[in-house]
Amino acid sequence: MNGNNFRKDFPLLQREMNGRPLVYLDNGATTQKPESVVKAICGYYGGCNANPHRGAYELSIQATDIYENARMRTQKFINAPKTNEIIFTKNATEALNLVAYSYGLNFVQPGDEIVLTIAEHHSNLVPWQMVAQRKGAVLKYIYLEEDGNLSEKDIAEKITEKTRIVAVTHVSNVLGLINDVKKIADKAHSAGAVCVVDGSQSVAHMGVDVQAIGADFFVFSGHKLLSPMGIGVLWGRERLLDKMPPFLMGGDMIEYVEEQHTTFAELPAKFEAGTQNVGGAAGLTAAIDYLEQLSFAKVIQIEKELVEYAVPQLKELSFIELYGCDSARNNKTGIITFNVKDVHPHDVATILDAQGVAIRAGHHCAQPLMRYLGQNATCRASFYLYNTKEDVDRWITALKQVREVMHL
């Protein structure tokens, strides 16, 4: 299967970069938007822009319908039990902070333990550091096996009766490996802990069933899912969300306000203070429609073929160091992290940019993992449904020129 069939749906992929056809390989950072998503956003702002939930006039009713329809579509998309368990945020980072502040600060006690993996994005690590520091809790880490997968020994031994929260990424944004979150969630539940899953790198690339994986909280950002920036999702179990206090205060999240006291709205409004991002919700609905028409089976096939095409070629290059490409568990996604020996990742990215190839370089908001791997920074190429073998060829050809440009 070749992604060429889908490139025509993405206006930005038709442009050039530095005088060359664009090869966009930074999908782990954000995905490009199909024309249907762009039209949905423009259609809202150009056709029925109004403040939702707050008006009895037609435009406001239409805006409310668009927003609440997005909630229903998202519920079905991740197979959440109830619509009111879907909380819209501005991104996964805000969603994780919501859980940390509203659940963590209220239900973690001194001496309790919070278990993370060393492969977490800062958004699923720094908030838990804050909770641990404020509450006198202990942070523990699950480290990696030689092949980059999570340590089975650490999973078995570090989640104990003292554990209150286990926070884990569904797919590492650096290593591109799918974690067995169901196994981790089951272990957490057996210890009486809740499991928080960061789905930012999974939900756009595979079908996600939050009930099947056993998560208690699941978060993702819309912009990594063909949607606009500024819309994110938190799903949480109703029994947990009900007992959590609001994270933000203001309009639309209240039931009744008196001079000295306020009662709060029911779910999901309790966690959605202020004017909602209806345009973002319209884009999210269109993105879900696009992906479901395409099917995740096709997305997985495209990415798998690209990885299987690229990795053997990269392994033949003596100057390329690869990370997360040795798993034998058939759990590799379309993320390939690498370095060019003796060349800083930022220089690699700049040289590739001159060839029209866009990759990511840096610590990928995963500094503890970088240190664990013995690196300060790496390069990352990440595929999506519109990438092709021709893109891979352009990327590898450009890589072969890097050391020449650096006179190595």
Q: Which two tokens stand for residue 306?
A: 């690209």
Q: Identify the helix (H) or strand (E) that includes residue 382.
A: strand 378-382
- Residue 233 pairs with which residues in a beta bridge? 88, 220
Q: E-assigned strands of 191-319?
A: 194-198, 217-221, 232-236, 254-257, 262-264
- 177 three-state secondary structure: strand
Q: How many other C-beta atoms are found inside a 10 Å radius of the C-beta of residue 318?
A: 7
CB atoms within 10 A of CB 312: 10
Return the amino acid letter for 58: E
Given the residues 48, 195, 325, 365, select the one marked as catalytic.
365
> If DSSP codes are grouped into helix, strand and coil, which group holds residue 19?
coil
CA distance 200 to 323: 20
Is the Cβ–Cβ distance between 206 and 296 less than 8 Å? yes
Comparing CA positions, the residue from 169, 208, 184 lying closest to residue 28 is: 169
Residue length of the chain: 408
What span, in angstroms and rounded, lies between the C-alpha atoms of 301 and 299?
5
- Closest CA relative to residue 105, chosen from 74, 65, 83, 136: 136
- C-alpha 284/C-alpha 185 separation (Å) is 27
**Residue 365 bears catalytic tag:** yes
Dihedral (CA of 276, 266, 200, 75) sign: negative
Neighbouring C-beta atoms of residue 376, cutoff 10 Å: 12
**Residues with a known catalytic role:** 365
